[in-house]
């Protein structure tokens, strides 16, 4: 379906006879959605990619026809439909073994990919809501201490808790407490397997073009490739 609309070009399979050309599909033609179309929230809805799904299966489930698989790839800007969508557990493990050159998946469980610094902040307001936020950043194992003017190795998996109290009048230590901010910071190793799982899960939610926009997109597709 996708390549059916692509323009034809003359191509010589026999370099000794350049005058003999065969009409072939020009697979190097390109069709992409512009940013304004992709950011039009009214034209899309969210879909949770399930293990066993493929663009063809999703197209059949959502549109009643597997031929619109290329639209799913286009709206999600998936250049490689095999690896740009979530993989099943078995496929992901095979990918990890091949990508990292491991002899077995067990190596991915014990090999550190990178280190992260996680800060979990909890703001508790008296007679008010409690707000929890978590910030994570990638770090090296050494941090710079301005006190000792040197690099200091951090301690892994050891939470450090700090608390700050906010009062109605912060100048007066006897005034009423109105809120408490608690920060728990932890340096953590992130293993290869966990890193790849997180990347895989980040692709789980995809965009789906609403049915009513399928035919207008098809018309634009045909017009663009045949200009």
Pick from 145, 158, 164, 161: nearest CA to 186:
158
Mean pLDDT value of segment 108-112: 96
Helix residue spans in 103-204 (DSSP H): 106-110, 192-202
Q: Which residues contact 40 (CB under 8 A, 6 or more apart)?
A: none
DSSP 140-152: -SEEEETTTTEEE
Cα–Cα distance measured from residue 186 to residue 188, given in angstroms and rounded to the nearest whole number: 6
Pick from 71, 55, 63: nearest CA to 2:
71
- Residue 54 DSSP SS3: coil
Q: Which residues contact 90 (CB under 8 A, 6 or more apart)?
A: none
Is residue 170 within 8 A of residue 201, CB to CB? The reply is no
Distances (CA, A) of 217 to 39, 57, 90: 15, 20, 35
Percent over 70 (pLDDT), the chain:
79
- Model confidence, pTM: 0.69
pLDDT over 60 (residue 132)? yes
- Tell how strand 205-209 and strand 177-191 pair up: unpaired
Q: How many CA atoms does the CB half-sphere of 15 hold within 13 Å? A: 0
- Residue 105 DSSP SS3: coil
- Residue 61 DSSP SS3: helix
Per-residue pLDDT, 217: 75
- φ and ψ of 223, to 5 deg: -65, -45
Pick from 140, 165, 166: nearest CA to 154:
140
Is residue 144 within 8 A of residue 152, CB to CB? The reply is yes
Per-residue pLDDT, 181: 96
Which value, to the nearest 10 degrees, does the dihedral of the CA atoms of residues 168, 169, 170, 173 take? -100
Per-residue pLDDT, 62: 95
- φ and ψ of 214, to 5 deg: -65, -50
Residue pLDDT, tens place only, 169-201: 877 888 899 999 999 999 999 999 999 999 999
Mean pLDDT value of segment 56-69: 93
């Amino acid at each position: 379906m996708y390549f059916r609309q692509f323009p034809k070009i003359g191509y010589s399979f026999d370099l000794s006879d350049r005058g003999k050309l065969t009409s072939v599909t020009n697979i190097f033609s390109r069709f992409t959605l512009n940013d304004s179309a992709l950011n039009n929230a009214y034209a899309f809805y969210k879909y949770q990619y399930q293990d066993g799904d493929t663009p063809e299966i999703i197209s059949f489930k959502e549109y009643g026809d597997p031929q619109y698989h290329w639209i799913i790839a286009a709206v999600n800007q998936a250049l490689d439909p095999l690896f740009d969508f979530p993989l099943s557990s078995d496929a992901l493990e095979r990918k990890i073994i091949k990508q990292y050159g491991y002899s077995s998946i067990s190596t991915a469980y014990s090999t550190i990919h990178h280190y992260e610094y996680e800060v979990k902040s909890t703001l508790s307001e008296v007679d008010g809501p409690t707000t929890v936020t978590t910030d994570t950043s990638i770090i090296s194992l050494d941090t710079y201490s301005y006190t000792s003017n040197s690099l200091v190795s951090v301690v892994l998996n050891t939470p450090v808790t700090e608390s700050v109290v906010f009062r109605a009048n912060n100048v007066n230590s006897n005034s009423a407490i109105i809120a408490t901010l608690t920060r728990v910071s932890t340096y953590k190793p992130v293993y290869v397997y966990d890193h790849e799982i997180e990347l895989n899960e980040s692709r789980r939610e995809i965009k789906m073009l609403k049915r009513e926009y399928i035919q207008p997109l098809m018309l634009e597709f045909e017009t663009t490739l045949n200009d």
